[in-house]
Amino acid sequence: MSGNNKGFRVFSNIIMILLSFISIMPLVLFIISSITRESVINQFGYSFFPREIDFTAYRYLFKSISTILNAYGMTIIVAGTGTIANLFLTVTLGYMLSKRDLPGRNFLSFFVFFTMLFNCGMIPSYIIWSQVFHVTDTVWGLILPNLMLSAFNVILIRTYFSTNVPQEIVDAAEVDACSQIRMLGAIYMPLSKPIIATLSLFSVLAYWNDWINGLYYIVTKKELYTIQNVLNSLQNNADYLKQYVNSSGLGAYAKDIPSLSFRMALAVMSVAPILIIFPFFQKSFVRGIVIGGVKG
């Protein structure tokens, strides 16, 4: 039996190493492609072994370094504020739905779940946010629409609260006349650090990768652009420059204007901060997903 277990562990480790390698390959590819000469990519395609290393894409990118740094600052502000608000709404609603004696609990849970299947659509949402709440050209246009609350996260934390907070502790707190607010802060929150870290990472990633809100709600105040909007704008400028050179009869020079390599450099700039912070959340992330999603 022990021999079988050892063989299974070896087999499992080999499979996980292969899967990890497959997962890392795209990351390595776009990093290498970002430092490959544009003409080489056009001629030979993307490769893990660049024929000619060139940093033109990054030189073009760093010409707008002040704009990029400002966008990083805006992204941090938006992601930080949005994540705190998201956690507050998610945790409080999930806590309420985890109470088995809550009147109308099943209906409220269904109502939350229903929003995962159907929503009003982009046009009604845009009309409401822009004409009713007037978030256009404000930082709230980057925070409030679409990302403030996730039904999936609510269900995840409700399940975690229901299955991983001992009912005996809750009953003892109720006997001591502990208020609901204090119970949430003193009992549920300390016992739910893995799922809270997981939801924090979900929210940070959602705000970090969001560019739709900036596209729709930031019209004139470009200084409010987050990093995704700025990188998208730089990409459009690079594509326009290449098209202009081609249309001007200077196609021979267009092959060296960074476009494909520039896209990869943009991807590196976009994901680098996330790659840096993810290892600090990884342990809690895995534990929170497994415990919060499997039980109940």
Which CATH number do you get for residue 89?
1.10.3720.10
Selected residue with higher pLDDT from 122 and 142: 142
Is 37 within the bounds of a domain?
Answer: yes
Q: In whole angstroms, what is the distance from residue 9 CA to residue 102 CA? A: 45
CB 269 within 8 A of CB 253: no
Is 79 within the bounds of a domain?
Answer: yes
For residue 106, pLDDT beyond 70: yes
Q: How confident is the model at residue 146 (pLDDT cuts 50, 70, 90)?
A: confident
Q: What is the residue-wise DSSP string for 59-93? A: HHHHTTHHHHHHHHHHHHHHHHHHHHHHHHHHHHH
Is 46 within the bounds of a domain?
Answer: no
Is 16 within the bounds of a domain?
Answer: no
Is 243 within the bounds of a domain?
Answer: yes
Cβ partners under 8 Å of residue 37, min gap 6: 50, 51, 52, 53, 54, 56, 256, 261
Is 152 within the bounds of a domain?
Answer: yes
Please give the residue range of the domain that contains residue 58. Answer: 30-41+51-294
For residue 234, pLDDT beyond 60: yes
Q: In total, how many domains does the chain have?
A: 1
Is 5 within the bounds of a domain?
Answer: no
- Identity of the amino acid at 95: Y
Per-residue pLDDT reduced to its tens digit, 190-219 = 888 888 888 888 888 899 888 899 889 988
